[in-house]
């Protein structure tokens, strides 16, 4: 198969949309030799915070010397963002070669099952890539829901459920209980569960599921928690409190994560707890798969190299505080209160449901209240549009509605009509590029004159401290902010290769 043949095949899978279920994924992986059994994993479900928790957890494990795979979705700019090992993205050539191999291997299954969906195929690709590259751990984020998500074929060491709220109702159900039942579907018999603090309906579902499966459950606010010490554009500093710690006050102090927003406190504590539980099981739980013996020895050697080779296995501390701090501080996760230009200041955030929009609004009210915010919003038509707008429109001095180049996008005109009904006037633009140009015209610059700038928070803060500073905030959808990043100069690799409904 040629390069173009492989890529065209992947694009062709998009027409199958999203179809929840495990049968096809299981059969494909069986045909590939069940690569998901070659590494330990942490499974992350939830509505908001999945990506941040996954990135932080992976970073903590990496700091402890492990080789760590990370599988997330959707991507912002490049398809290759989805599959990483130790923060290195899969290459385009590897995507092509794995596509050729998997397509060839599953050709014999066509008489037994329909063609896989895009996400089912990519999930198999990620697992095979991680197996081939000998990862010790893989942090796996669900695509949608959990119970019938293609990733739910794994038996993880820890199951993680972040905050559950309303999203994807057409697939997951109309009530919070329905949605929680789908998310809690990742809970496996005897496997520990780390959960965010949830609304009562969602918590009851998780308590029932863990009880039925005899799974130890750790809930934020009940079994562990955090204290926020500072929060600004650089990130957050916090203390972690948990009964399992052997420090005098059972806490870890002055932990820093370079992700902005007070909501990252909960995500960081969940990631910390998940890593603790995972590392504890690394020491005390042996795999029962004979073909994984080599991987077990490798994990033990890795732990020994980090903690002193002369110690017995039972005395190895499962987590080192210095490495935990290093892992958290080295976390990189884009698209969440991310500054992508400092002159003028442009911030992007992937808020795409009411809870995420509320978190973004709270950050703006506390940290950007002295600045005139030019808000660029592009929202998917199947989302709770008014619920997303409601917390964000009041913080903006000017609103520009737009639509990313994606079939599910709501028209800017429809967004403007809804905003007007809510009492807010706005401008409309038929493309993200045009919306950015419209906002930049107030600064006398064009998008072609900007360069994507990273690690520029100090410069941005200095810029914002000038009197009556303006800030461009782009949000409403991952598709909107991804397109914005590409317009502002980030090169896309297979950028349009994504799920469709």
- Write the pLDDT tens digit of every residue in 210-243: 999 999 999 999 999 999 999 999 999 999 998 7
Beta bridge pairs of residue 36: none
What does the mean pLDDT of the chain come to?
Answer: 88
Going along the chain from its start, the domains and CATH numbers come out as 3-165+188-305+323-329 (3.40.1190.10), 338-487 (3.90.190.20)
Are 436 and 487 in contact by the 8 Å Cβ rule? The answer is: yes
Q: 231 with 362: CB under 8 angstroms?
A: no
Which band of pLDDT confidence, cut at 50, 70 and 90, is reported for residue 183? very high
Q: How confident is the model at residue 317 (pLDDT cuts 50, 70, 90)?
A: very low
Q: Which residue has the higher pLDDT, 218 or 445?
A: 218
How confident is the model at residue 452, as a pLDDT?
A: 54
Strand 217-219 relative to strand 193-195, pairing = parallel
The DSSP element (H or E) to which 374 belongs, if any, is strand 372-377
pLDDT of residue 428: 98
- Between 493 and 131, the more confident residue is 131
Residue range 92-134, pLDDT digits in tens: 999 999 999 999 998 877 778 778 999 999 999 999 999 999 9
The confidence score (pLDDT) of residue 281 equals: 84
- The region of weakest confidence among 11-25, 56-70, 190-204, 329-343 is 11-25
d(CA 328, CA 258): 8
Residues contacting 247, CB < 8 A, separation 6+: none
What DSSP assignment string belongs to 303-340?
HHHHH-TTS-GGG--S--HHHHHHHHHT----SSSEEE
- Provide the pLDDT for residue 207: 98
Q: Is the peptide bond preceding residue 304 cis, with omega within 30 degrees of 0? A: no
pLDDT band of 445, cuts 50, 70, 90: confident
Which range has highest mean pLDDT (249-258, 275-284, 398-407, 465-474)?
398-407
Of 21-25, 71-75, 79-83, 200-204, the poorest mean pLDDT is in 21-25
Going by their DSSP bridges, the two strands 338-342 and 345-348 should be labelled as: antiparallel
Give the mean model confidence (pLDDT) for residues 246-254.
68
Reported as a pLDDT band with limits 50, 70 and 90, residue 282 is confident
Residue among 278, 259, 387, 386 nearest 335 (CA): 259
Tokens in use for 357?
């929009």
- The pLDDT > 70 percentage for the chain reads 86
The 8 Å CB, 24+ separation contacts for 412-416 are 412/378, 414/381, 414/385, 415/377, 415/379, 415/385, 415/389
In angstroms, the CA 156 to CA 133 distance is: 19
Mean pLDDT for 199-209 is 97
Which residues are CB-contacts of 74 (< 8 A; sequence separation ≥ 6)? 82, 478, 479, 498, 499
Please give the model's pTM, rounded to 2 decimal places.
0.89
Higher-confidence residue: 233 or 301?
Answer: 233
pLDDT at 417 over 80: yes
Of 433, 435, 430, 437, the closest CA to residue 411 belongs to: 430
What is the rounded distance in angstroms from the CA atom of residue 65 to the CA atom of residue 320?
11
The alpha carbons of the chain give a radius of gyration, in whole angstroms, of 23
Q: Is the pLDDT of residue 316 over 50?
A: no
Give φ, ψ of 427 to 5 degrees: -110, 160
Q: What local confidence, expressed as pLDDT, does residue 461 receive? A: 63
DSSP SS3 for 443: helix
Q: How confident is the model at residue 19 (pLDDT cuts 50, 70, 90)?
A: confident
- 222: buried, middle or exposed (CB in 10 Å: 19+, 13-18, 0-12)? exposed
Kindly indicate the confidence band of residue 498, based on its pLDDT and cuts at 50, 70 and 90.
Answer: confident
DSSP lists the bridge partners of residue 374 as: 398, 472
Q: How far is CA 114 from CA 13, 24, 103, in A?
A: 11, 8, 13
Q: Is the pLDDT of residue 284 over 80?
A: no
Residue 463 has pLDDT above 80, yes or no: no
337 phi/psi in degrees, rounded to 5: 45, 45
Residue that has been written with the tokens 């579902």 in this structure: 205
88, pLDDT greater than 50:
yes
């Amino acid at each position: 198969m040629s390069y173009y043949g492989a890529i065209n095949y992947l694009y062709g899978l998009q027409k199958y949309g999203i179809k929840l279920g495990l049968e096809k994924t299981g059969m494909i992986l069986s045909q590939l030799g069940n690569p998901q059994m070659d590494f330990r994993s942490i499974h992350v479900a939830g509505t908001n915070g999945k990506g941040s928790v996954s990135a932080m957890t992976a970073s903590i494990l990496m700091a402890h010397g492990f080789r760590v795979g990370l599988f997330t979705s959707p991507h912002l700019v490049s398809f290759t963002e989805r599959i990483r090992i130790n923060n290195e993205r899969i290459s385009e050539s590897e995507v092509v070669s794995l596509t050729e191999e998997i397509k060839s291997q599953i050709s014999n299954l066509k008489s037994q099952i329909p063609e896989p969906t895009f996400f089912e195929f990519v999930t198999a690709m990620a697992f095979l890539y991680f197996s081939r590259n000998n990862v010790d751990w893989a942090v796996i984020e669900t695509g949608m829901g959990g119970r019938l998500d293609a990733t739910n074929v794994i038996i993880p060491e820890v199951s993680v459920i972040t905050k559950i709220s309303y999203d994807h109702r057409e697939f997951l159900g109309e009530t919070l209980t329905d949605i929680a039942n789908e998310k809690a579907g990742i809970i496996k018999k005897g496997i520990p569960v780390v959960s965010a603090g949830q609304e009562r309906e969602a918590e009851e579902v998780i308590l029932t599921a863990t009880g039925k499966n005899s799974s130890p459950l750790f809930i934020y606010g009940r079994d562990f928690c955090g204290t926020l010490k500072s929060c600004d554009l650089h990130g957050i500093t916090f203390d972690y409190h948990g009964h399992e710690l052997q420090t005098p006050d059972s806490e870890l102090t002055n932990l820093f994560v370079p992700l902005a927003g007070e909501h990252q406190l909960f995500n960081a504590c969940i990631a910390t707890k998940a890593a603790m539980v995972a590392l504890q099981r690394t020491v005390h739980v042996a795999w029962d798969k004979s073909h994984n013996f080599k991987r077990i020895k490798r994990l033990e050697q890795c732990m020994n190299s980090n903690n002193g080779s002369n110690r017995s296995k039972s005395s190895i501390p499962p987590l080192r505080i210095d490495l935990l701090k290093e892992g958290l501080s080295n976390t990189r996760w884009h698209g969440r209160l991310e500054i992508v230009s400092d002159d003028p200041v442009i911030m992007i955030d992937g808020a795409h449901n009411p809870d995420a929009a509320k978190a973004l609004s709270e950050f703006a009210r506390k940290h950007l209240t002295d600045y005139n915010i030019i808000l660029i919003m592009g929202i998917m038509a199947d989302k709770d549009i008014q619920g997303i707008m409601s917390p964000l429109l009041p913080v903006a001095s000017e609103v520009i509605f737009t639509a990313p180049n994606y079939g599910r996008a709501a028209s800017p005109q429809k967004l403007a009509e809804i905003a007007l009904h809510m009492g807010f006037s706005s401008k409309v633009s038929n493309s993200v590029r045009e919306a950015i140009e419209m906002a930049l015209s107030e600064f006398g610059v064009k998008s072609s004159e900007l360069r994507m700038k990273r690690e520029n928070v100090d410069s941005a803060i200095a810029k914002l401290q000038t009197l009556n500073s303006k800030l461009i905030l782009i949000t409403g959808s991952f598709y909107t902010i991804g397109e914005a990043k590409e317009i502002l100069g980030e090169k896309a690799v297979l950028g349009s290769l994504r799920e469709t409904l």
